Every structure is written in C-alpha cells, then in structure tokens.
Chains A and B, each alone.
Chain A
C-alpha cells in the first residue's frame, strides 16, 4: 500500500465521522490558534512599543527628576521631586562639557484649561525651548514653531496639537487665532502634525509654549524654574553612551553630588525603555505559550482517545485487512496517517482561526497583532507532530491485533 492510497484511506476514515473528527481536533485547533495569536500579539506589542518609543525622537536620553535618597534613607519615587531646573538644561547644551550632546529640550508641563470661542478644553501645556520639535521629532502641519526670540521675550505664543486644535476650533488650520490659557491670551503660531499616542499620553493633545512664558506667566511661584523632564539628544547613536556619561557628570556636578548612586535624577535611554517593555511582554508570552501548550497537550490526548475508539470500532476491518494480507506496518501506518490528518486538520483550522484573530483582535484590544509566517508554519508542524505522537499507541494497538480475534468481533 503506497502513500497516496494510505492517505486516501485515512482521509475517507476521517471524513466518515466528520462531526466526531471536528470535535476531536477542537483542542488542537484552540491550542494552535492560541499559539499564533500569542506570537502575533507578542510581535505586535513589541512593534507598538518600539514605534512608541521611537516616536519620542531618536538617539534620546530622558532625564527625570527623583530617585533620590534623602537624609533619612528614604528613596524618593521616580519623578516625584522637582530637582531639575532650566539651568540644568542650559548646562547640558555646553559644547565643552557635553560635546556629544546635540540638542536639549527641557519640558515643563502643567495641566491647564484652554478656552477659545467659549469652548473649554483642558490639556497638558508644555513649556520648552526651540529645539523641542527636533528632539521630539515632531513636524508642523500648519504655521511654524516658536522662535528663540519668543523664548527670550517670554512671548505669549503657543503651538497646538492637532487634536487640541480640533477640540477647540473644530479644525486644525487655526494659525493666527487666539486661545486663552488659564485666562491669558496666546496667539497660535503653529499646529503639530498628528503623531498618535504613546503608552501614557496622547501626543496630539498638547499645547506647546516657550518655557519662559510657561514658567513666568502660567506657573510662577517657587517652582517656576523647575522642569519635569529634560530630553537630551545625542549627536548620533554611537555617541549615546558618551552623551549619557556627560549628562550624568554635568548634572552631578551642578547638584553637588559626588556619588552616582546618590543622584537625585534618573537618566534613561530609549533602549532601556524598549528592554523593559519587551521583558514584560516576554513574560506574558511565556505564560500564554504555556497555556497554549497545555491546550495542545489536551488536544493530543483527545486525538489519542478518539483513535483508540476508532481502533476498537474498526477491529473487524483491521482483522479483515490483515486476513487479506495487510502486514502490521501497513495497519500502523494507516492509523498513524489518520492521527496525523486529525492533527493537521486541527492545525489548519487553528491557523485559520488565529489568522482571523490577527485581523479582528486589534480592533478589540487596540494593540497590533502580527501574523507570523514562521509561527503558522511551526504551528502546523507541531500539530502534525502531535497527531503522530499521540497516534503511536493506538496505531500500535491496531497493528498488534490478531486477525482471528479481530474477525471474531461482531
């Protein structure tokens, strides 16, 4: 009996119990679909996270205040204190002390109410310097970013995010209009092109103004000179490590701290953020893969169970085939092929379900899911292997049936 005949015989055996075969492969189906979705979700999330972190700008270091240990030994939380100042940001632009730093953009943020034409909208108002657009890799849709003169003179000008503009005016082409921020009138000089959102904030719902204006006009008081974050852009990817060192040295000197581990600020790089995010999703992926593997195991046991039933049901057929001259290996091969077909059927259906999921899921959970060809191919190979692996015992039992006993069964 050659392979094509074995395949045809096994296929017709599977087909003769369509419903039972479908129910049998359900476990494998779910397992394979889960594997494909898990891998797809992992890859998609990784892609999203990388894109989000890239959207911050390129070759960036992010300096945040905090992580300080005070006299009593209490360690302050990340970003909880206001230890960074505009002067710190200014110092980092020094070409002498920090030659590898190309640009610096401090951010001083405050959640404030904006008003235009009787429409109110509360958003994150960011005070910064002119290099912000470059450092954060943002483009202007309309108008222009504010200038160094605006910063020097604390001009009341503002650049709006596209969503902020839409919320206030119902459109984005609003250059030249006036918006009141916390009661002070600002002229809109530009509107940012859309950049989507990152994990923590909507990048399109912002109002960017000169840092001097925000510090003096909007915030004032004791915290006028403090900044919430300083974005530092290295001249190139290769100079990122050097820029990190320089930024650390400059800030430690300015803050009068001698030991790096006592620093009252934290410098993180995009890579570190990517790594952190990736490691979280790797843990998640391992967990989900474990569940998928369990489902595949259960599916495999289901195949074995139904193959044992099939062998019992077809004892007479097996006996007849043996009486007609089927050697044990031909019987074994027939049942192994049948189990492999069940496994593969579960794999194919699971892959289809998984592929469908990669299109449907993003709409539901809002995270990208990547359909990985390697995952599909791997899943199909695994499903066949499960069929064969769990088919060995039933097939061997079938092959060992004595023809007389088999024929006697009524």
Chain B
C-alpha cells in the first residue's frame, strides 16, 4: 500500500488477495490475480489500465456486480463475498452510486424519474424521492431540467443526470466507469469538475479510466496490468 494516504480509520473498501477467474468451457481466464487495495473515506482514486488489464473486472467486483473467486472484499464493514443476490442488491443500493460510460438512463423517464430510481428500490416515499431527486439535480446544475427526458439533454447533461442519480442515495462510494468516454472535451471537463467538487465535499470516488489526463484529476492513481496492481501512488491534487 505504498503511497496510500495514511488514515487512522478503517478503510471503506478493503480488498485482500482478490482473484477472479472466468471460465468459458475448458478455457480458464484469470482476470484478477491477487489484488490488495484499501480505499479510505473521502479518497478520490483513479484506477487505470489498458483494456484487458482487469480494470473492468475490478470495477465489477468493487460495484458488487460480480463476486470474487478467491480472497475477500469488505465494503463499509460488510463482507461482500458471501452475500446472496438480494443482499448484494441492497449493498449496491445503499453503498454504491454508479456512473457508467454510456450514461444508462432510461429514455422513457424524465430526469428526476431517472434520478429517483435508487430511492425507489430503497423504499423511500414518493414525496421525499421527488424532493431528494430535485436536490441532487440542483447539485449537478440541472435544477431546471427536472422534467426533461434524456433525449432532450446533451451528452454532458445526461452524464450529470447520471451523477445526480449516483449521489441521490448518499452512498458510501461513487463508482464511475469511464464516465467521460462518450463525451466531448468540454463536457468531459464539466463532469470531471463535478467530481472534483464532490471530492472536495468529502465524497469517496473511484474512477475507472484508461486516459491519463482523466486520472490526473484524482488524488491517487492505481494502475492495473494483467490482473495485478502495478502502481499505486498519490498525486498532487
């Protein structure tokens, strides 16, 4: 854990000896080959690596979208690897806010309806959902676009809606997978500035990217290659 920020508290994310093997017929492919990684509350971490490096698998594991083959993963004090589907759904709902490369907004729903989705599955009452969704959209600068459908918004705006959706449930960590991959440079800067603001407000952010200039925004860069952590350093924010 060289270069990790020294924090006295227990890390919110704790990976130790994590391995992930995919099996396709007789062929086995080891995507992760023993990863140890601690991330503390309030950190802004960029995970970098070329395609095929295992960074997407790492993101799936961190996002509780996939379970590890070996090793352990603790998220906010809970052991994730032994959880069943329902419990994983609950963890994803409460602890993680996803931002995807392709935005993944539901085109038939208005902005605030998209943003409220995590709260729907958390069982929050409708009035409160609308209020919190509106606040989250204001937070990302889209307070005037509550009722617009994704098709009526620009790519940058759509990704900001997705960020609002990731924020709305007050999750432990925001997990962003190539959030600027589908955006032009202006919108990219826009979204990255938004992450910066959130980081300054104390959010824990894990950002997965293959672009150095994106990773440079983070306070800490973790490089993955061939299923192993290659490099882990704090950079000047």
Which residues of A line the B interface, CB within 8 A? 1-2, 5, 12, 16, 316-317, 320-330, 402-404, 407, 410
Q: With A5-B120, A328-B86, A407-B65 given, is the CB distance from A12 to B93 under 8 Å?
A: no
Pairs A–B under 8 Å by Cβ, sample size 9: A2-B123, A316-B104, A325-B93, A325-B122, A326-B121, A327-B89, A328-B86, A330-B121, A404-B60
Q: How far apart are A321's CB and chain B's nearest CB, in angstroms?
A: 7
CA distance A134 to B34 in the complex (A): 104
Q: How large is the interface on B (under 10, 10 to 19, 20 to 34, 35 or more residues)?
A: 20 to 34
Q: Decide if B118 touches A325 in the complex (CB within 8 Å).
A: yes
Near A by CB (< 8 A), chain B positions 88-138 give 89-90, 92-94, 98, 100, 102, 104, 106, 108, 117-118, 120-123, 126
Q: Decide if B66 touches A317 in the complex (CB within 8 Å).
A: no
| Residues of B with C-beta under 8 A to A330 | 121
| Residues of A with C-beta under 8 A to B100 | 407
Q: Decide if A317 touches B90 in the complex (CB within 8 Å).
A: no
| Residues of B with C-beta under 8 A to A317 | 106
- The residue in chain B whose Cβ has the minimal distance to the Cβ of A328 is B85
Q: How far apart are A20's CB and chain B's nearest CB, in angstroms?
A: 15
CA distance A175 to B66 in the complex (A): 98
Q: Decide if B120 touches A1 in the complex (CB within 8 Å).
A: yes
CA distance A16 to B117 in the complex (A): 19
| Residues of B with C-beta under 8 A to A323 | 63, 65, 92, 98, 104
| Residues of A with C-beta under 8 A to B89 | 322, 325-328
CA distance A330 to B121 in the complex (A): 8
Q: Decide if B94 touches A325 in the complex (CB within 8 Å).
A: yes
| Residues of A with C-beta under 8 A to B160 | none
Q: Decide if A324 touches B121 in the complex (CB within 8 Å).
A: yes
Which 7 interchain pairs have the tightest Cβ spacing? A325-B93, A327-B89, A325-B121, A327-B86, A404-B65, A403-B65, A320-B104
Near A by CB (< 8 A), chain B positions 181-201 give none
Q: Decide if A16 touches B108 in the complex (CB within 8 Å).
A: yes
Q: B165 at interface (Cβ–Cβ under 8 A)?
A: yes
Q: How far apart are B204's CB and chain A's nearest CB, in angstroms?
A: 18
CA distance A329 to B90 in the complex (A): 12
| Residues of B with C-beta under 8 A to A5 | 120, 126
- The residue in chain A whose Cβ has the minimal distance to the Cβ of B120 is A1
CA distance A322 to B165 in the complex (A): 14
Count of A-B residue pairs with CB < 8 Å: 61
CA distance A5 to B113 in the complex (A): 12
| Residues of A with C-beta under 8 A to B108 | 12, 16
Q: How far apart are A383's CB and chain B's nearest CB, in angstroms?
A: 26
Most buried by A among B90, B108, B120: B120
Q: How far apart are B72's CB and chain A's nearest CB, in angstroms?
A: 20
| Residues of B with C-beta under 8 A to A407 | 65, 100, 104
CA distance A326 to B60 in the complex (A): 16
Q: How far apart are A315's CB and chain B's nearest CB, in angstroms?
A: 12
- The residue in chain B whose Cβ has the minimal distance to the Cβ of A322 is B89
CA distance A317 to B108 in the complex (A): 11
Q: Decide if B165 touches A324 in the complex (CB within 8 Å).
A: yes
| Residues of A with C-beta under 8 A to B120 | 1, 5
- The residue in chain A whose Cβ has the minimal distance to the Cβ of B126 is A5
| Residues of B with C-beta under 8 A to A1 | 120-121, 123
Most buried by A among B89, B123, B169: B89
| Residues of A with C-beta under 8 A to B102 | 410
Q: How far apart are A395's CB and chain B's nearest CB, in angstroms?
A: 15
CA distance A12 to B92 in the complex (A): 26
Q: Decide if B65 touches A324 in the complex (CB within 8 Å).
A: no
| Residues of A with C-beta under 8 A to B118 | 324-325
CA distance A410 to B90 in the complex (A): 26
Q: How far apart are A337's CB and chain B's nearest CB, in angstroms?
A: 15
Q: Decide if B98 touches A324 in the complex (CB within 8 Å).
A: yes
CA distance A328 to B84 in the complex (A): 10
| Residues of B with C-beta under 8 A to A329 | 86
Q: With A330-B121, A404-B66, A407-B100 given, is the CB distance from A324 to B85 under 8 Å?
A: no
CA distance A317 to B169 in the complex (A): 19
CA distance A284 to B46 in the complex (A): 75
In the complex, given contacts A5-B120, A317-B106, A325-B92, what are 15 additional A-B residue pairs having Cβ atoms less than 8 angstroms apart?
A1-B120, A2-B123, A320-B106, A321-B117, A322-B89, A323-B65, A324-B93, A324-B98, A324-B118, A325-B90, A325-B118, A326-B121, A328-B89, A404-B66, A407-B65
Q: Decide if B92 touches A324 in the complex (CB within 8 Å).
A: yes
- The residue in chain B whose Cβ has the minimal distance to the Cβ of A12 is B108
Most buried by B among A5, A322, A330, A410: A322
Q: How far apart are B171's CB and chain A's nearest CB, in angstroms?
A: 10
- The residue in chain B whose Cβ has the minimal distance to the Cβ of A406 is B65
CA distance A16 to B108 in the complex (A): 9
| Residues of A with C-beta under 8 A to B106 | 317, 320
CA distance A12 to B60 in the complex (A): 30
- The residue in chain A whose Cβ has the minimal distance to the Cβ of B177 is A407
| Binary interface encoding of chain B residues 151-176 relative to chain A, with 1 for a CB under 8 A from any of its CBs, else 0 | 00000000000000100010000000
- The residue in chain A whose Cβ has the minimal distance to the Cβ of B102 is A410
| Residues of B with C-beta under 8 A to A12 | 108
CA distance A1 to B123 in the complex (A): 6
Q: Decide if A327 touches B85 in the complex (CB within 8 Å).
A: yes
Q: How far apart are B103's CB and chain A's nearest CB, in angstroms?
A: 10
| Residues of A with C-beta under 8 A to B63 | 323
Q: How far apart are A159's CB and chain B's nearest CB, in angstroms?
A: 76
Q: How far apart are A345's CB and chain B's nearest CB, in angstroms?
A: 19
CA distance A329 to B86 in the complex (A): 8
- The residue in chain B whose Cβ has the minimal distance to the Cβ of A1 is B120
